[in-house]
Amino acid sequence: MRERGLRVLQLTGDWKWTGPAEPMLQLALALRERGIEVELACPEAPPGAARSLAGEARAAGLPPALALSRGRGARWLRDRADAARLRAHVASRGVDVVHCWHTRDHVLALRAAGARRPRSPRLVRSVASADPIAPRPWNRWLFGPGADAVLCPSPASALRYAALRGGRAIAGHFGAVDVARFRAGPPDPAVRRGLGLEAGHRVVGIAARVQPHRRFDLLLEAAARLFERDPAARLLVIGRGTRRAELAERPAERLGIADRVVFAGYRSDDYGDVLRAIDVFTLLVPGSDPSCRALLEAAACGIPAVTTRRGALPEIVADGETGLVAAETPEALAAAWQRLLSNAEERRSMGAAARRRAEACFAPARLAEEVAALYASALG
C-alpha cells in the first residue's frame, strides 16, 4: 500500500486534553513521519479552558483542519451541521481514511458517508477499552459491519473483539510514549526534597485522576499494610480530582497514614522528574485512556510496576520481568510492593527490562507502523 500521499483524518468530538487525546496526537505526528498526510478534526476549547487538544495540536504543528461543535453523545439534529461539514471536507480533501476515537465521531463519519458508503474513505475505529463490550445489538453492529477496521488497545483485546468483526480488519497494539522525554535515570534529590521525601524513603507511586472507579480505597488500604511492615515506605499520588479530599485525603487520615501519603497534585513541566522520584509504580484500574499512558511513561523511565489484572495492565507489565501482576486485594498489593521495595537488585533489573520493553513496544514509530498496516487492510 502506498503511504506517501495517503490522506488520513483523525476525528474526535472531545476538545479536552485528557484520555486518548495525547496518544491520538502522538500517533498523528508519527504517521506524518512516515509520509502519511494527516489532518485533525476536533472541537475548539470553551473560553477559559487551560489546556485543550486543539491547543496542544497547534503547538505540535498540527492545527485542526475542521472544527466540530462541542457536545457529548450522538444527537441526530444537533450534529446535522457537523455531519454536512465533515462530508464536504472529506470530499474536498480526498481523504482515504477517517479514524474515529469515540462513538459520536463514529456516527458522524457514518452520517457523512451516507447510507451507501463509498469504497473511500474507509472508517477506522479505536476502541475505548481493553475489556469486552456489552453485547448489545448497537455495539455489535458499530464495531462489526459499521467499521472497515478496528484498533484495540492491546493484542489480547483484539482477540476479544475478533468475533464481532466477522473476518474484517482488526489489530491490537499498545499505546505510545515519548521515550526521549521519559528517560531512565536516578531521581533528582532536589525534586524528592520538594515533595517532602527523604533520602531513605522507599516510594510507591501512582499517576491517576482521583476518581471512585480508580480504587483509591484499595490503594490506601494496601498502603496501610505496607507501612506496618516498612516504616520507610511512602505513597506518592500524582494527579488531581474534584473529589480528592473525599476519596483519598480523608480516608488516609482515617487509616492513620496521612503523614506517609504525599499528594503531588497535577504536574506538567516537571512531571517526568516527579515520576522518576518513584521507586515502584502502581496502577490498579485503567482510566479513560485504555492504553494506560502513565504506566507506559513509568516503564520508559525504567521504573518497575505493580498492577492488577484489569484491562490491558497485565499485558503491559510482563509479570516477573518488568514488574509484578498482583491480585486485587490489599494484602497481595502490599506484598508485591514490599518485595520490590526491599530488593534493590530486583528493582533495578526489572526497571531496566521495563525501559527496554518501552523502547521496543511503546515507541510512537512502532505504533504508527502497526496502524499504517491496519489502514492498508481497511483499504485493501
| pLDDT for 119 | 52
Q: Greatest CA separation found in the chain?
A: 66
Identify the CA nearest to 290 among candidates 130, 122, 124, 94.
130
Long-range contacts of 167-171 (CB under 8 A, 24+ apart): 168/144, 169/374, 169/377, 169/378, 170/374, 171/370, 171/371, 171/373, 171/374, 171/377
Average pLDDT over residues 334-344: 97
What is the average pLDDT score of the chain?
92
* Cα-Cα-Cα-Cα dihedral sign, residues 44, 47, 52, 55: positive
The H-assigned helical ranges of 197-310 are: 216-229, 244, 250-254, 271-275, 293-300
List Cα–Cα distances, 20 to 78, 291, 311, 378, in angstroms. Answer: 24, 8, 15, 22
Give the contacts of 111 (CB within 8 A, at least 6 positions apart): 79, 83, 86, 87
For residue 87, give the H/E element and its range.
Answer: helix 80-93
Whether the predicted pLDDT of 1 surpasses 50: no
Query: Across residues 92-109, what is the average pLDDT?
Result: 93
Please tell me which residue, 237 or 289, carries the higher pLDDT value. Answer: 237
Domain ranges of the chain: 7-176+363-379, 189-361
Domain 7-176+363-379 classification at class level: alpha beta
CB 281 within 8 A of CB 188: no
**Distance separating alpha carbons of residues 264 and 194, to the nearest angstrom:** 10
Q: What is the pLDDT of residues 349-365, one digit of tens each?
A: 999 999 999 999 999 99
As a whole number of angstroms, the distance between CA 287 and CA 179 comes to 21
**What sign does the CA torsion over 160, 164, 167, 172 have?**
negative
Q: Do domains 7-176+363-379 and 189-361 have the same CATH topology?
A: yes
Q: Taking the alpha carbons of 59, 65, 70, 72 in that order, is the dihedral positive or negative?
A: negative
- 154-200 pLDDT, tens digit each: 999 999 888 889 889 999 999 999 999 999 999 999 999 999 999 89
Task: Output the CA torsion sign for 50, 23, 159, 142.
Answer: positive
- Rounded-to-integer distance, Cα 35 and Cα 37, Å: 6
Sign of CA dihedral 241, 246, 247, 253: positive
75 pLDDT exceeds 90? no
With beta carbons less than 8 A apart as the criterion, state whether 60 and 25 touch. Answer: yes
Nine-digit cell at 190? 532536589
Q: Is the pLDDT of residue 340 over 80?
A: yes
Q: Which amino acid is at 194?
A: G
User: Which CATH code fits 189-361?
Assistant: 3.40.50.2000
Distance CA 13, CA 21 (A): 11
Helix, strand, or coil (residue 93): helix
Q: Cell 504525599, residue? A: 262
Answer whether residue 116 shows pLDDT above 60: no
Q: What residues pair up with 307 in beta bridges, in sequence order?
A: 283, 325
Q: Is the pLDDT of residue 271 over 50?
A: yes
Examine the pLDDT at 114 and tell me if it is beyond 80: no
**Total length of the chain:** 380
Residue 280 CA to residue 297 CA, distance in Å, equals: 13
Rounded percentage of the chain residues whose pLDDT exceeds 90: 75
* pLDDT tens digits for range 202-229: 999 999 999 999 999 999 999 999 999 9
In this prediction, residue 2 has a pLDDT band, given cuts at 50, 70 and 90, of low
Of 12-21, 171-180, 322-331, which range is least confident?
12-21
* Beta carbons of 60 and 52 less than 8 angstroms apart: no
Rounded to whole angstroms, the Cα distance separating 27 from 362 reads: 11
pLDDT confidence of residue 4: 65
**Sheet (strand 323-325) strand order:** 261-265, 233-238, 202-207, 280-283, 305-307, 323-325
The tens digit of pLDDT for each residue in 30-72 reads 999 999 999 999 999 999 888 899 999 999 999 999 999 888 8
pLDDT bracket for residue 135 (50, 70, 90): confident
